[in-house]
Amino acid sequence: MLELSHRASLVEPFHAMDVFAAANRARQAGVDVISLAVGQPADPAPQGVRDAAMKKSAEGLVSYTNALGLDVLRQAIAEHYKDHYGVDVSASRIAVTSGSSAGFNLAFLSMFDHGDRVAITRPGYPAYRNILSVLGLEVEEISTAETGYLTADSLREVHARKPLKGLLFASPANPTGASMPAEALQELVAVAADLGIALISDEIYHRLNFARPDATAVAFSDDVVVINSFSKYYCMTGWRIGWMVLPERLVRPVERVAQSLYISASEISQIAAVEAFKCTEELDAIRFRYQQSRELLMDALPKLNLPLLAPMDGAFYAYCDVSAYSEDSQAFAKTMLEETGVAASTGVDFDPIDGHKSLRFSYCQRPERVAEAIERMKNWLKAG
């Protein structure tokens, strides 16, 4: 019998996708499921994006591109940094990737060697931990329970115990939605530089920050790596298109690795993504619906005795404590789906220590569906 590699055995299942699959099975059985489990916009990509893709598809020939991406898209991304953040970024420092997932792989492979110690936050996106582990890197998880986001003091403390080679963090964060104030981000960037820690800033939920303006790590240093994506604000999850902002010294190494791993991101998706920056009015209307759904959940969850574990600053998530009802969030979520048709992600994906007591609700759904989910949960918890 063929044996799994030791590295493959280190990868934990992504339980949120198991919930997603269970919700789909329930739908097929005729259940009216309201999925608040997966961080996927309920709206399609903007019309201009779809039109550009259709036009290119009609031409018939879809080709490879340069590994770093089409010049027109790299330039559009660079202009976005000037328009949105007031930061000058050269298009030569932009690498277009097959979604943010490819960006993480390229960053890890280009920046770290086998056995290097890299910190992530807890709770945090499980793919960080899994990819780092399968690449043979040592993972250190830093709790953000006290403030909701990573602080420079926490970084100093962890590094003092055993030196770190790198740090990956997100703001706004998945699963909590908590975001880092600009001054805290600036301090974190400065401290990491002083300690010789390489920084990767996951900014895929930018433009979905409801508590404060977006702050990019690139504003405070040219020596950080930023990863972003068209999946979330731009409603392009399945298009698999993202980008990296790189220090000049990493551009060629990332390009070399990308040439072998991916050749290039999809040409159709790249051409379509150029148009995404022109669709702000359409996308901000969707963002406004997220904001309405956010307010519904922010008000309802504490009243349902599901207190928030972090501020709902941004992204489209609410991370809450279910310990008043259960110490097994997986069982709680399974029963809730079966008895109410409401799906949520279990905390065990995001926090291997305390996740058995937490759930993540995604509010990508339209406000009326979120309101219906809240009503179902209210009746269910009351009945129980």
95 membership: H or E segment, kind and range: strand 94-97
pLDDT confidence of residue 14: 73
**CATH architecture label of 6-44+281-383:** 3-Layer(aba) Sandwich (3.40)
pTM higher than 0.75, yes or no?
yes
**CATH architecture label of 47-278:** 3-Layer(aba) Sandwich (3.40)
Contact in structure between 294 and 324 (CB atoms under 8 Å)? no
pLDDT confidence of residue 12: 73
- C-alpha–C-alpha distance, residues 125 and 318, integer Å: 14
| Pairing outcome for strands 225-229 and 242-245 | antiparallel
Q: Which two tokens stand for residue 244?
A: 């990296």
The model's pLDDT over 148-199, given as tens digits with 9 standing for 90+, comes to 999 999 999 999 999 999 999 999 999 999 999 999 999 999 999 999 999 9
pLDDT confidence of residue 384: 63
- C-alpha–C-alpha distance, residues 382 and 380, integer Å: 5
pLDDT confidence of residue 344: 96
Local mean pLDDT, 10-residue blocks, the chain (384 residues): 69 73 85 91 97 96 97 98 98 98 97 97 94 95 93 97 98 97 98 98 98 97 98 97 98 98 97 98 98 98 97 97 96 94 94 96 96 97 80
* Secondary structure letter of residue 221 according to DSSP: -
pLDDT confidence of residue 227: 98
pLDDT confidence of residue 27: 86
How many of the other CB atoms lie within 10 Å of CB of 197?
A: 20
- C-alpha–C-alpha distance, residues 99 and 228, integer Å: 8
35 membership: H or E segment, kind and range: strand 34-36
**C-alpha closest to that of 301 among 275, 319, 286, 283:** 319
Q: Which two tokens stand for residue 150?
A: 């990573």
Beta-carbon contacts of 252 under 8 Å, excluding residues fewer than 6 positions away, are none
- C-alpha–C-alpha distance, residues 172 and 312, integer Å: 9
H-only helix segments in the chain: 6-9, 15-28, 47-59, 71-80, 99-111, 126-134, 152-161, 182-195, 248-261, 267-276, 280-303, 329-340, 367-383
CATH code 3.40.640.10 region(s) in the chain: 6-44+281-383, 47-278
Burial class, 169, CB count within 10 angstroms (exposed 0-12 / middle 13-18 / buried 19+): buried
**C-alpha closest to that of 316 among 19, 41, 18:** 41
- C-alpha–C-alpha distance, residues 317 and 136, integer Å: 30
Amino acid at 286: I
pLDDT confidence of residue 1: 63
- C-alpha–C-alpha distance, residues 264 and 96, integer Å: 8
pLDDT confidence of residue 343: 95
Beta-carbon contacts of 285 under 8 Å, excluding residues fewer than 6 positions away, are none
Q: Report angle CA 113, 115, 120 to the nearest 5 degrees.
A: 90
Percent of the chain exceeding pLDDT 70 equals 98
Q: Which residue has the tokens 């055995």?
A: 9
- Beginning with the edge strand found earlier in the chain, give each strand of the sheet holding 358-362 in spatial order: 34-36, 342-346, 358-362, 317-321
Amino acid at 26: A
- C-alpha–C-alpha distance, residues 66 and 263, integer Å: 8
The model's pLDDT over 11-61, given as tens digits with 9 standing for 90+, comes to 777 777 777 788 888 888 888 999 999 899 999 999 999 999 999 999 999
Amino acid at 305: N
